[in-house]
Amino acid sequence: MRLAAIDIGSNAARLLIVEVSYNNEGLPQFNKLNLVRVPLRLGFDVFEKGEISKEKRGMILQTMKAYSHLINAYDVKHVITCATSAMRDASNSADIIRKVKLETGLEIEIISGDLEASIIYENHVAENMDTNNSYLYIDVGGGSTELTCFTDGKLAFKKSFNIGTIRILKDMVDDDKWNEMKEFIKQKTKGYKKIIAIGTGGNINKVFSLSKKKDGKPLNLELLKDYYKEISSFSLDDRINIYKLRADRADVIVPALQIYINAMRWAEAEEIYVPKIGLADGLVQHLYYELESKKAVLSKQ
């Protein structure tokens, strides 16, 4: 079975295509066939003007058409398409959704921040880790940050904050918003077992690549602080040249590090694992279990 997920974020739109196979215990494995990313940067329109510009609307449509062709080329029968913070805030998102559906057949669902946090958690990374610790998922996007905490074998809390890389670049995150996140994390994690962070999102993936750490090894908080000081000291052009960053990564990586560092400090987490998963991975699994659930219901009828 082949599945596809499209994640339309505030900075980029991603298409993930996977093939589902099963291990010896009959559990599903999601094998990546293709992952495509287009830097739409919708947040730069939305967080400043409240709507998506004509130019960006055209880019969304062309991207969705391209994704639709790829989905057909891979003979994918089941697709889930979700949009997050920028589309949540855009006054003209309903018009864009109608246009995309009409011209590509793809149905975009705008999901809440809480649902976004839940879907990221569906990757269940923490379940394979030491139960003597608590785990805080930190997913940083262009428009929002999703926090999900896993402790004692169960979900402890989930929360979305309108603190994202593009909002910071646009100077739209004031002290009150930072303090709200700070107090929430401190209060909710008080008394928990030692907290280990799990970082998701393109920026933390890039930092992990820069670190040259082996897969499965964590980054420590002090290293993130060092990267923040180092990368933020360079101009945008220098970041692109020195770290071989794309232009659409070079500007958001610094505020992303700021968010990860703050969240870890407030949770008193000293290490962060980077499993290189994101919302698209969670969406694929969400779609799979939804299909399995429907199949089970039909088999009982």
* pTM reported for the whole predicted model: 0.90
What domains can be seen in the chain, in order of their start residue?
Answer: 2-113+280-300 (3.30.420.40), 124-277 (3.30.420.150)
Output b/e per residue, 262-293; b: 16+ Cβ within 10 A: bbbbbbebebbbbbebbbbbbbbbbbbeebee
pLDDT of the residue at 133: 87
Q: According to the model, what pLDDT value does residue 136 have?
A: 94
Looking at beta carbons, which pairs linking 241-244 to residues 24 or more positions away fall under 8 Å? 243/210
For residue 121, what pLDDT is reported? 67
- Is residue 145 a contact partner of residue 160, using CB atoms and an 8 Å limit? yes
pLDDT at 126: 52
Compute the CA torsion angle 86, 283, 147, 40 (nearest 10 deg). -30
Asked if residues 98 and 123 have their Cβ atoms less than 8 Å apart, the reply is no
Average confidence (pLDDT) per 10 residues, the chain, 301 residues: 97 97 90 96 95 97 98 97 96 98 97 86 61 90 93 86 96 97 96 91 95 93 98 97 96 98 98 89 92 84 68
- Sign of the Cα torsion 256, 114, 22, 17 reads negative
Q: Among all chains, which residue has been given the structure tokens 């793809």?
A: 106
Residue 78 structure tokens: 């089941």
Distance between CA 158 and CA 198 in Å, rounded? 14
- Model pLDDT, residue 154: 79
Residue 243, pLDDT score: 96
